[in-house]
Structure 1
Amino acid sequence: MTRPDLAPLTGWDRARWADLADRMLLAVREHASPDHARIVPPGAPAAFGPDVAGLEGFARTFLLAGFRLAGDGGEDRLGLAQWYADGLAAGTDPGNPGRWVRPAESGQAKVEAASIALILDMTRPWIWDRLDPAVQQQVVDYLAVVVGDDGYPHNNWRWFRIVVQTFLRSVGGPWSREDIETDLALLDSFVRADGWISDGPLRAYDHYAGWALHLYPALWARMWGAQDLAAGRVERDRERLDRYLLDAVRLVGADGAPLLQGRSLVYRFATAAPFWAGAMSRVPSLSPGLLRRAASGVLAHFAPHVDRDGTALLTLGWHGPWPAMAQHYSGPSSPYWAAKGMLGLALPATDPVWTSTEEPLPHERADQLFTASAPGWLVSATRADGIVRVVNHGTDYASPGDQGGDAPAYAQLGYSTATSPRLTADARTDPIEQSVALIDAAGRATHRTGFTPGGVDLHADGATAAVGGSVARAHWFTEAPGHLDYGPGPAGEATDVALLRTVSVLRGPWEVRLVRVEALPDGPAPADGLTLRVGGWAVSGDGPGQDRCRPDDVLAAAGVAGLRSVAVGAAGFETAGVRRERDVSPLGGTTLTPWVSAPAVLDRWYAAILGLERAPADGDARLPEVTLPAAADRVGVRWPDGACSTVPLTGVTPAAEDLTRQGAAMSPG
């Protein structure tokens, strides 16, 4: 029964969620093998080949089928249980020419094995218990090869081995307590401040924190074989999830758009998964109505694009197909990890998360300004336009001192729910949007990966503003051939140029960005003739867009799709412009990036004003006013609403002698 009265903000009640899930499940059947073991939707060939793609298609849609069965107590009008049981029997049959690739044959099979084990556990009465004993043994034999397998990367993948072995334990199969305890200890080492979890030992903060590292503890604790193993962890995991969600719920745009940052963005509405995990775990700080508002907002954002051509099929892309968004491990079936974002369907219609009325997101009530210390983010979400903006001084999928290339989805200084980084091969070698870089005569731009963070905080000397900073050993970078994009920036040859000290002051839609160029403490001064350039927000959309410059004001503005991006030189900058590009973003064919620049002079502070808002492209924005005294020990900002902030520039970034040179080897994920 539909209850639209419970969804006044998004229009998505449980019946509407279930209807989309069912159409998605029916749509993939025509792309399945006759024995149901493999599902390969249309799309570019997978990097790991058709065997892996077929297994992914089965396992990831099996997640969604399992949620439907579990939430409806086994009611099965689509015949999901038998359809997927047939696939299980065929896929695990070692004599079947179309059998599944095994976890010992492909690392990707380790990921999919976890989804299969999780749903077999969740739907035990309707699938596992009804399988022929011979098929049950085939499944056990297929999964059991993960026991003692040390080939799992040091990241969220360790949850896959835990989930599989926990299921095996519950059905009398082989398992290893040592494996599970080892994996849990490693995963605990990734826990950071305020409930955040890094996806491995590097500064890898992204949606994996929510759709993997917080999701699996919530699901694992409910598995039949986990009760005693998880007993001492449940409350601690719930507390971490609760605190993380206080930040995560403020990182969803009012239009439901997730933050376009991090890897595996083709999973789309998997970003809703942690909100359902919070509902399952009964987190105390967020109401069921707020959690559902966040999750339904995300699905509502993507649903029109899923149904764009009436097929209810997911493609490699964001809204529609955009193959450049795929990473090395992405294939045509990969986007179906989006099924995690539909986990709420595993909860019955009587659950409070479905019977409660939606509540507004925090920034639908009032502007939000906060910091997330673990990823080093300053965050501003504005009620007027619903955009969430992140200024990044702590995340680059690297360690301090590393000298890799900048990963566009990690190392930029800014991300938002309304813009996307340029996601092309050129973007890896030529950072411009949300960057601070030195430019040589040939137009080559430095990279910042391996920077040293200085911390983030809220300052309240006058109007409250979020303040943070970092110091980068800016380096020229030449990418090595054969880069495989799995998250981190590329490897290659790096040459240090100078220190770039950056301080950000954020409030509302505006950031005042202060930059200082310094000589390396352990090397020569940078060569003469370099230009300092600060890139603003890249706005993308269909149509030509508009760009304009006011040379006398050192101002550049760009507008497209109702968004306006502004870059203004407030101190030291002399030139402004807009870069215009085609087909570099999944958000539209036109991308415009305003920038300001000036000759690089050592040991002086430069100041730029960067803005992003929904506004007419040809209108004049009310700009902050910046005061930077000659002593340059603090900056004063008069914001467009008349409020003023005074922020010290000392202590925001680390001293030169505190900069580290050691790096860490990057591990795949």
Structure 2
Amino acid sequence: MSTPALPGLPGLIEFPEDDRVLSPHTGYTRAHWEAAADGLLGAAWKWATPQGALLDLPGRPSASGVRSDGLEGYARTLLAAAFRVAGAEGKDPHGWLDRYARGLAAGTRTPGRDDAESWPVILDHHVQGQPMVESASVALGLRLTRPWLWDRLDSGVQDRAEEWLRGAIRHVPAPNNWYLFPYTVAGFLESVGRGDAQTARARERALELLETWNRGQGWYADGDGRAFDHYNGWALHLYPTLDAHLADDRAQLARHGARLHEHLESFGLLFGGDGAPIHFGRSLTYRFAAGASVALGALTGHTPLTPGTSRRLLSGSLRYFLDRGSIGADGLLGLGWHGPHEATLQPYSGPASPYWASKAFVGLLAPAGHPLWTATEEPAPSERRDEVLALPAPGLLVQSTRADGIVRLHNHGSDHARPHEAESAAHEDPLYARQAYSTRTGPTARGNIADNHFAVEVAGIRGARTRIQPLGAGQGDGWGWAASRHTPAFVSGPPMVPGLRVESVTVARGPHELRVHRVTGAPHGARVTHTGWATGPEETLLSVLHPLHGWSGRDEQRAPQGTAYTRWARLPRLTGEAEGTAVFAALAMLTAEPDPASAADAATVVSATADTVEVRWADDGSLTRIAFAPLTVEHGRTERR
């Protein structure tokens, strides 16, 4: 039964009936997406200031303060409204754009003033930078709705809006995807005849940096380091490709569209059979924004995915979160993953931050007759067959199993270490430092035992995995591998142990993960620990970590702070001793199958030395051989020596 709407605003989301003929997997159609946009906007606007310049949603403030958070509420919901109205060719039954027009006039009247409506000014990212992020959403929203919003503003409001937006062009962004915010602002100003040398420089600079961050296979690093995460889709591909699409710039669209197409060849596999995106990287409270690049690819035609597959991924992700408590009783998107989850959040996240999820509504720019909305839904890539996909450029290995719909991401190349910073255990980030992530599990919190982690302990202090050096990745028929090296960093005592290094290799095959680690330079008395997947007692998941070589102890540990998926978690752990050079091998498994084959019987070590490990698989007798000097990984039916 629908929730009645409050006067002047929609109530909670009022969905039409599911359409299981057109959308057999999710039931969602374009009408469901429009309803979701209207419901989210209606709930958020109940918290607007009298003139609508700020949406002060309830909750703990971000590090930027409540005024910046209020602007964030205005800007990020404007994106949803803009996609909604532009996709309906200006039809605006709820009058969203009138609200945003009044708010724009009020917010830009006296920027920086401490009153009920004024927007904060835009300064350098390290001073008062968050408004620069929001300026891109304001600019994009105005560009999308130009005939129905911008063109109807009086010239004084237009001038004030331009002056406020130019703060993004005149100040210094953070050294990552932030350079696309002044790029987007400049693109809007040029589209309304207000471009100049300043806007041209902002756009040239962003595109120059984007080239240096392009690492191949459709993946960008988020800055000069090696951070590969969801910012690829909802920022680094979205802004330049959408800009080119809106400007009808064929040359830029061909350039950025080709990279988007290549990105979606791998990214399309990173959604589970239940619709969940991979739980990996920062800003996960943006949730179904993970589908923005899928929608953009369908809109522009730069995608390897069929329209039915694209909608399956988009609607599956939207429904996944709506069905799992991401929207509270007040109709607001809350901070977290499913429901509230503090450990998922970053200090820059405020009450309105989740509304970057509005980027997924870019699909509404495709009209009702577009194949994205008219094609029958098809299975997601993870629902079709077991897959193993190696991505050498970012150093990632993707593994999916059709039987339970779980997608796993083995991380041997993405970290959150800034290029100018020394390696430090204080910089270890659970959202990047773990060796594996999935669509059904999340990393444990900093204060709990780390999941999917191999550590060397010296004098009782655990070594952290911060800067990750990829060593390679590859795949064969039904299997794949990725490898990396890291230097353990210690939070107390000497930050580094001279000569201590860890080389790690993951071989994925079916539901199994062969994890092999070689420690070199371990001092006398050093211990090693290795953990598996963290699962909750209420979950129908099995997490196994079976010792194959080098381990002397085995137990189960608890993570009382849980994960984004469970309030309380447990995980398997292996322990051992190391001195000098030592090799360790284990077989891990995460599965939701009711009666999986035992990992204990799946493989055995044939031989292991300081340089080489050979493992025999029980199902077909094939052999996996891992050599460390130099690194090679081979797999076949017969031994290779």
DSSP 3-state at the match of 1:528: strand
Match of 1:404 among 411, 424, 434: 424
Match of 1:291 among 280, 290, 310: 310
Q: Does the Cα contact within 8 Å between 1:572 and 1:598 map onto a contact in 2?
A: yes
Q: Amino acid of the residue matched to residue 89 of structure 2? A: G
**Gap change, CA 1:101 and 1:631, over 3 Å in 2:** closer
Distance (whole Å) between structure 1 residues aligned to residue 608 and residue 375 of structure 2: 57
* Residues 322-341 of structure 1 aligned to structure 2 (within 5 Å): 322-341=341-360
Distance (whole Å) between structure 2 residues aligned to residue 361 and residue 578 of structure 1: 34
Q: State whether structure 2 residue 232 is matched by structure 1 residue 205.
A: no
Distance (whole Å) between structure 1 residues aligned to residue 623 and residue 587 of structure 2: 14
DSSP 3-state at the match of 1:584: coil
Distance (whole Å) between structure 1 residues aligned to residue 469 and residue 631 of structure 2: 8
Give the equivalent residue in structure 2 for 1:160: 181
Q: State whether structure 2 residue 185 is matched by structure 1 residue 126.
A: no
TM-score, normalised to structure 2's length?
0.89
Q: Amino acid of the residue matched to residue 160 of structure 2? A: Q
**1:610-647, CA deviations, whole angstroms, 9 ceiling, x for partnerless residues?**
11111459995564212241556654444464352322
Q: Does the Cα contact within 8 Å between 1:250 and 1:363 map onto a contact in 2?
A: yes
DSSP 3-state at the match of 1:232: helix
Distance (whole Å) between structure 1 residues aligned to residue 418 and residue 60 of structure 2: 34
Q: Amino acid of the residue matched to residue 422 of structure 1? A: T
Give the equivalent residue in structure 1 for 2:543: 565
Q: State whether structure 2 residue 414 is matched by structure 1 residue 395.
A: yes
Q: State whether structure 2 residue 478 is matched by structure 1 residue 435.
A: no
DSSP 3-state at the match of 1:189: helix
1:586 positional shift: 1.9
Q: State whether structure 2 residue 529 is matched by structure 1 residue 533.
A: yes
Q: Does the Cα contact within 8 Å between 2:76 and 2:355 map onto a contact in 1?
A: yes
Q: Does the Cα contact within 8 Å between 2:581 and 2:610 map onto a contact in 1?
A: no
Q: Does the Cα contact within 8 Å between 1:583 and 1:590 map onto a contact in 2?
A: yes
- How many residue pairs are counted as aligned between the two chains? 605
Distance (whole Å) between structure 1 residues aligned to residue 596 and residue 211 of structure 2: 51
Q: Does the Cα contact within 8 Å between 1:477 and 1:494 map onto a contact in 2?
A: no
Q: Does the Cα contact within 8 Å between 2:525 and 2:579 map onto a contact in 1?
A: no
1:107 positional shift: 0.9
Distance (whole Å) between structure 1 residues aligned to residue 173 and residue 327 of structure 2: 38
**Gap change, CA 1:605 and 1:628, over 3 Å in 2:** farther
**1:461-517, CA deviations, whole angstroms, 9 ceiling, x for partnerless residues?**
xxx4212222222232249xxxxxxxxxxxx95555612222221112211111222
Identity %: 39
DSSP 3-state at the match of 1:219: helix
Q: Does the Cα contact within 8 Å between 1:38 and 1:55 map onto a contact in 2?
A: yes
Q: Amino acid of the residue matched to residue 192 of structure 1? A: R
Distance (whole Å) between structure 2 residues aligned to residue 651 and residue 283 of structure 1: 41
1:284 positional shift: 4.8
Give the equivalent residue in structure 2 for 1:108: 130
Q: State whether structure 2 residue 243 is matched by structure 1 residue 220.
A: yes
| RMSD over aligned Cα atoms | 2.4
Distance (whole Å) between structure 1 residues aligned to residue 65 and residue 331 of structure 2: 24
**1:233-263, CA deviations, whole angstroms, 9 ceiling, x for partnerless residues?**
2112111100110101101111111111100
Give the equivalent residue in structure 2 for 1:662: none
Distance (whole Å) between structure 1 residues aligned to residue 595 and residue 336 of structure 2: 27
Distance (whole Å) between structure 2 residues aligned to residue 165 and residue 624 of structure 1: 57
Q: Amino acid of the residue matched to residue 190 of structure 1? A: W
Unaligned runs of 5+ in 2: 1-15, 633-641
Distance (whole Å) between structure 2 residues aligned to residue 21 and residue 496 of structure 1: 55
Comparing 24-33 and 614-623, the one that deviates more:
614-623
Q: State whether structure 2 residue 256 is matched by structure 1 residue 237.
A: yes
Give the equivalent residue in structure 2 for 1:629: 607
Give the equivalent residue in structure 1 for 2:12: none
Distance (whole Å) between structure 2 residues aligned to residue 577 and residue 57 of structure 1: 46
Match of 2:294 among 262, 269, 275: 275
Give the equivalent residue in structure 2 for 1:506: 508
Distance (whole Å) between structure 2 residues aligned to residue 642 and residue 402 of structure 1: 46
Distance (whole Å) between structure 2 residues aligned to residue 582 and residue 62 of structure 1: 39
Give the equivalent residue in structure 1 for 2:473: 456
Distance (whole Å) between structure 2 residues aligned to residue 581 and residue 518 of structure 1: 30
Distance (whole Å) between structure 2 residues aligned to residue 199 and residue 643 of structure 1: 42
Give the equivalent residue in structure 2 for 1:475: 489
DSSP 3-state at the match of 2:561: strand
Distance (whole Å) between structure 1 residues aligned to residue 61 and residue 480 of structure 2: 45
Unaligned runs of 5+ in 1: 480-491, 520-525, 546-559, 655-669
Q: Does the Cα contact within 8 Å between 2:489 and 2:495 map onto a contact in 1?
A: no
Higher relative contact order (CA 8 A, sep 6+): 1
Q: State whether structure 2 residue 479 is matched by structure 1 residue 465.
A: yes
**Gap change, CA 1:324 and 1:384, over 3 Å in 2:** same
Match of 1:81 among 92, 97, 100: 97
1:231 positional shift: 4.2
Could you list the structure 1 runs, at least 4 aligned residues long, displaced by more than 3 angstroms after superposition. Answer: 1-4, 305-310, 399-402, 492-497, 615-623, 630-643, 650-654
Give the equivalent residue in structure 2 for 1:247: 266
DSSP 3-state at the match of 2:491: strand
Distance (whole Å) between structure 1 residues aligned to residue 595 and residue 525 of structure 2: 34
Distance (whole Å) between structure 1 residues aligned to residue 608 and residue 539 of structure 2: 40
